[in-house]
Homo-oligomer: A and B are copies of this chain.
């Protein structure tokens, strides 16, 4: 399994949006990746259906091949971003048989037949990683497979389809009905011309199957998933949800099913022979989510997966569920991990300090301030305050003035100043200047504004 010497050979299957982005990162961030892996990653070829199609300039035509069958036997790591079940499955099984580690973003394949791949990889003693196959860029597969490996997951609730989340969000915020919201999503590029895979829940069901397999160490295929899409959701449903403090989300749910015997209190059901039949139920359907639940705040095309585990309690993972760059980020993370396994023969990531960037003081941070001042209430005061900001090159975004209760020494007012982003050193110098202005009675509060 070890790499002979020199580089780790990487083969790429597919050169669409994600494939091109993966190739770009491999080709342009070679030094960074080499530091993280402990060896260089060498892109040895990109398998495509038609090598004559025009491509992004980053893709060297000399790397293209239409002979994927051959390519997969010439690599240490095979990255599959072509999608669909065949020929992807056959090629990955061939790669595994050749001793290559495999990274795939293919949710359709894993949802339909992941366990076959996993078993082949286990038997061959090679890695199969697939962070990008569920919830795009969100690191989710690795935490569930590894961070929670000493725990027991009891339930997974996910918003795993950005299109339907966007549509339901629009229905909630604008009162549009479903058809209108889907049409708008299509116009904005959030939904495909044929939105069936999204709105009928097929995409979410494939991801639910993958998640369930991982979380419960059990073979779950997409056909095992109960699936209801969002087509039955009406504007009236959305309005009722709001009235009762909920929001409607399309959820992918995988959970341990408690035995029927514990149910409903029917006499014959209690403690009977069914009591031990613990199993897994996997379902995709629209659901009411209480507004104070973390999933209720997941808007637009974002994805999030909420996990409940016996010891860890409640966890949530949030981020972009699709898109070329986010998906490529997840794929590259997997490539680094499996390549590193090859290089080190059994050790986790290297640590920490190879970049050795300078560590600056807080003065170098760029942020925004909100400053609350109590000032004399007379003309010209605001101009003096504004001038103090301008003198330090700090731009003001907004000012609010209010009259404060009169103090011992006459009429006074409160001024709230919110700045644009500037260097922290300039901001704090400005505040010091302002505190020294005769018209300023006190600087009541200085708070940085983050995340805006």
Residues of B within 8 A of A370 (CB): 240, 244, 288
Return the 3 tightest CB-CB contacts between A and B, nearest first. A150-B332, A118-B351, A264-B393
A391 to B: closest C-beta gap in Å: 11
Structural contact, A336 and B278, CB atoms closer than 8 A: no
Residues of B within 8 A of A55 (CB): none
Structural contact, B337 and A346, CB atoms closer than 8 A: no
Which residue of the partner chain B has the closest CB to A392? B264
Number of interface residues of A (CB under 8 A): 151
Q: Roughly how many angstroms separate A218 CA and B357 CA in the complex, as a whole number?
A: 6
Does A396 sit within 8 A of B, measured CB to CB? no
Which residue of the partner chain B has the closest CB to A251? B450
Does A248 sit within 8 A of B, measured CB to CB? yes
Once A335-B150, A370-B288, A448-B287 are accepted as A-B contacts, the answer to whether A315 and B138 lie under 8 Å apart by CB is yes
- For the A-B complex with A246-B449, A316-B318 known, give 20 more contacts whose Cβ atoms are closer than 8 Å: A1-B346, A118-B351, A122-B351, A128-B348, A137-B312, A216-B355, A218-B356, A218-B357, A224-B359, A236-B372, A236-B445, A260-B364, A263-B423, A264-B393, A280-B357, A287-B449, A288-B447, A297-B297, A316-B316, A344-B346
Structural contact, A264 and B426, CB atoms closer than 8 A: yes
Would you give the 0/1 interface string for A253-290, flagging 1 where the beta carbon is closer than 8 Å to chain B?
A: 10111101001111000000000011111110111111
Q: Which of A62-70, A139-147, A379-387, A431-439 lies on the face that meets chain B?
A: A139-147
Residues of B within 8 A of A416 (CB): 240, 244
CB-defined A-B contacts under 8 Å, sample of 7: A115-B353, A126-B347, A260-B423, A281-B365, A315-B318, A316-B316, A346-B346
Q: Which of A90-98, A176-184, A320-328 lies on the face that meets chain B?
A: A320-328
Structural contact, A365 and B283, CB atoms closer than 8 A: yes
Once A257-B365, A344-B125, A361-B226 are accepted as A-B contacts, the answer to whether A289 and B451 lie under 8 Å apart by CB is yes
Residues of B within 8 A of A405 (CB): none
Does A49 sit within 8 A of B, measured CB to CB? no
Structural contact, A148 and B333, CB atoms closer than 8 A: yes
Residues of B within 8 A of A450 (CB): 157, 251, 253, 287-289
Interface positions, chain A 226-252, Cβ under 8 Å from B, are 226, 234, 236-237, 240-241, 244, 246, 248, 251
Structural contact, B372 and A240, CB atoms closer than 8 A: yes
Does A452 sit within 8 A of B, measured CB to CB? yes
Residues of B within 8 A of A362 (CB): 226, 281, 283
Residues of B within 8 A of A263 (CB): 366, 393, 422-423, 426
Structural contact, A264 and B422, CB atoms closer than 8 A: yes
Does A121 sit within 8 A of B, measured CB to CB? yes
Does A319 sit within 8 A of B, measured CB to CB? yes
Q: Which of A145, A289, A310, A325 has the most CB of B within 10 A?
A: A145
Residues of B within 8 A of A328 (CB): 150, 311
